[in-house]
Structure 1
Amino acid sequence: MIKEFCSENFTLIPKAIASGARRIELCDNLAVGGTTVSTGVMEETILYCHEKEVAVMAIIRPRGGNFIYTDTELKIMHTDIIEAKKLGVDGVVFGCLNESGWLDEEAMTRLIEAAEGLQMTFHMAFDDMSPDKQFEAIDWLTENGVHRILTHGGPAGTPIEQNLEYINDLISYANNRIIIMPGGGITYRNAEAVSGFLKANELHGTKIVNLNVLK
């Protein structure tokens, strides 16, 4: 199983890796759902993690709030992907929607092209889409080369256990074409149960490993 540890900065990363994290998602400002970290944090994290053979994913998000971006914000995101690629990041995490709650296909296509050669995760903007559009989005993202979708399977704040049946439906529909990665409310305490129910090999969270084991 790959336990992806979501980290705001470098501070906890050494302990997270020592506690079993096999991939790091760099995600500043978690209070607003995450924004792009500084170049310095990204560079040092990549250097450290690659020494430990741990992959690094960087969220590309210029601000909190919704996932409907202006042209200027999309230029910022495009530049951030290019810079992250130069630093040697393994993958990027992003998501763009339009006013009707569907994928912003033009914006997504532009960012996917910039991220060529990297792993790509469509983040929890997925959970802002209506269920009927989510299954269509799986098709579109698969066809356009995105590797995984991060989802809580329901409204933020709901226990992950309430959403497992729905996440299972998403996994079944994806049918190994794209990875459906559960996140939000998954901790080291319930990770095994969630993984066992969903037969999921990748889990995401800020508490996905027990940082208190190592003093």
Structure 2
Amino acid sequence: MAGGLIREFCAENVEHVPEAIAAGAGRIELCDNLAVGGTTPSHGVIRAAVEVARLAGVPVMCMIRPCGGSFEYTEAEGRIMVDDLRHAAELGVDGVVFGCLRGGEVDRELTGRLAGLAKEAGLMVTFHMAFDEIPADRQAEAIDLLADLGVDRVLTHGGAAGTPIAGNLERLRWLADHVAERLGILPGGGVTWENAEGVAAAVGVGEVHGTRIVRL
């Protein structure tokens, strides 16, 4: 699995993107404001990252999130996300990353709208770690819905934020087995260049995510 493992590097801006690609990053997740879990990057950052990554043949996933805090969005914030998604597509990203909740469950309406627009533009879709805020006993239902809505992968820590990834491997494996071929599970949060291969093997996946997923 090591040779085919996709290491998705979470980049807060374009500064470390060339270095990360040289170190083996096979995909870039581009965002701003990691201190609040990531928000939509600026026009200039998206353009520059796409330019760098395209030369190396590495896809760029762009965060679509108008603000930090809750993953429940107002109607106005939803319109911002639609506009930002369309703009990112125009700038040449390969995919988008978002997570929309309503009452502790997937926001079916907004998620469906964003995923539909992304698919119309030929983009991949990742539902991010907002997924981990869904109660564990509702996650199977949630992930089935995400698959039906056209989401390609779910970025998840497999447990509460801050818990050691090693303690969540069983849950991550369960999620990966549950979704089978319908969508991918992307382990993140505490996955580093040092443990990436072990995490991937334990969960049974071919891709992992993190800010330290390659050795810089």
Task: Give the C-alpha shift of residue 191 in structure 1.
Answer: 0.8
Instruction: Please report how far the alpha carbon of residue 77 of structure 1 lies from its aligned counterpart in structure 2 after TM superposition.
Output: 0.4
Match of 2:25 in 1: 21
Is 2:115 aligned against 1:112? yes
RMSD over aligned CA atoms reads 0.7
Counterpart among 203, 211, 214 of residue 198 in structure 1: 203
Task: For residue 114 of structure 1, give the secondary structure of its aligned residue in structure 2.
Answer: helix
Q: How do 1:1-215 residues align onto structure 2 when only pairs under 5 Å count?
A: 1-98=5-102, 100-116=103-119, 117-211=122-216
1:63-103, Cα deviation, whole Å (9 max, x unpaired): 111100001100110000000111110000001101x2111
Q: For structure 2, list consecutive stretches of 5 or more residues without a partner in the other structure.
A: none
- Letter of the structure 2 residue corresponding to residue 57 of structure 1: M
Deviation at 1:133, TM superposition (A): 1.3
**TM-score for the superposition, normalised by structure 2:** 0.96
How high is the sequence identity, in percent, across the aligned residues?
Answer: 54
> Aligned AA for 1:101?
G
Runs of 4+ in 1 over 2 A off after TM superposition: none
User: TM-score if structure 1 supplies the norm length?
Assistant: 0.96
Code of the aligned partner of 2:186 = M
CA deviations on 1:132-176 (whole Å, 9 max, x unpaired) are: 211111111111111000000001000100000000000110112
C-alpha distance in 1, partners of 2:85/2:197? 33
Distance in 1, Cα, partners of 2:41 & 2:204: 32
Paired residues in the alignment total 210
Tell me if the contact between 2:100 and 2:130 (Cα under 8 Å) persists in the aligned partners: yes
